[in-house]
Amino acid sequence: MAGYETTEAVSAADLARYDAVIDVRSPAEFALDHLPGAENLPVLDDQQRAEVGTIYVQESRFLARRIGAAHVARNIARHLETALADRPASFKPLIYCWRGGQRSDAMATILSQVGWPVTLLRGGYRTYRRHVTASLYDTPKALKLLLIDGHTGSAKTEILHQLEALGVQILDLEGLAEHRGSLFGALAGRPQPSQKLFETRLLQALNTLDPERPIVVEAEASKIGDRMTPPVLWQAMQSAPRVVLDAPQASRAQYLVGAYGDIAADPNALEAAFDRLPVAPSAERRAAWRGMIAAGAFADLAQALIDLHYDPAYDRAARKAGAPVVGQIIVEPTDPASCSAAARGVATLVCETFGCL
């Protein structure tokens, strides 16, 4: 009989009861998504998992299990001698694998024999994934959202973060998605998290917020880069009141030069972004843009893209939006004092719209 307990409880409060959440899946599986705060102590690494799977399919189930058991035993021994070496006798971990099968059972069995009060997640990662899906796709949330809206380059993200410093609750979707939300918004050298990991991060962030208090979110499209905003939140955003930031075009172009400096420094990334424009630029226009890049005239390039793509796309979306606008704030995005004043203005509108913070 197993010497450990089992559970299917995976809410934030449930997970907080454990000293550690241990994911024993391979590093590649862990990278795609994992429970919040989990540490990866694989019982089979990526290569070993592939090896055992191949032997299982092509040769023998028995041989695969014998070779796999040897890998698992060595890996668990290494974890006991390294990552788990300093854990006290009272250490209380939750352990999971893909579906609560042999990998997590092996780790849970050995750790319980050490004397630790171990709990195994029944159904493994799939149990947690069902919880995320139910929370973000199936169960509407009564959220008091206010959106910061405005043309690209109006310092929305910067002002959002300043609101947090003022004590206003915020939800930074672009930070969670690791993308600046626009056509040129990919972060150089930083791929986006998987859709599942983005949703895990989003649910974790929502769980830290007080639903009785207002939450400020930057107005976004339904997708942030390649990551889709889940329906429960997207539907709430569609009807949320919004504050519009109004900034001069020239100032917005200059702001974008600084905010998108990593992309501006990478001609290949710029060319790839040009390819993603919904209306392909003519050969003449593209040549002119390349000339601006070669000359370092990035403000001119930003202005050209504002005229061709960003402002027309924003204006089309604004015409379709039916949510109320509760205020408009003029901001000079390149002026820190102006951004700070705009943040205070948004905070005031939050209070006027929803009551005291």
Over residues 54-105, the pLDDT tens digits come to 998 999 999 999 999 999 999 999 999 999 999 999 999 999 999 999 999 9
CA distances from 215 to 145, 218, 302, 328 (A): 5, 10, 31, 18
Residues 6+ apart with CB under 8 A from 87: 19, 20, 116
What is the per-residue pLDDT for 161?
97
Task: Find out if CATH 3.40.50.300 is the number for domain 141-354.
Answer: yes
Q: Which CATH superfamily is domain 5-134 in?
A: Rhodanese-like domain (3.40.250.10)
Whether residue 316 contacts residue 333, with contact meaning beta carbons closer than 8 Å, is answered with no
CA 184/CA 295 separation, integer angstroms: 20
Whether residue 223 contacts residue 179, with contact meaning beta carbons closer than 8 Å, is answered with no
Over residues 6-38, the pLDDT tens digits come to 999 999 999 999 999 999 999 999 999 999 999
pTM of the model: 0.92
Residue 339 annotated to the active site? no
> Which residue among the candidates 97, 339, 351, 356 is catalytic per the annotation?
97
Domain ranges of the chain: 5-134, 141-354
Over residues 297-316, the pLDDT tens digits come to 999 999 999 998 889 888 88
On the question of pLDDT at 235 being above 60, the answer is yes
Asked if the domains 5-134 and 141-354 are classified in one and the same CATH topology, the answer is no
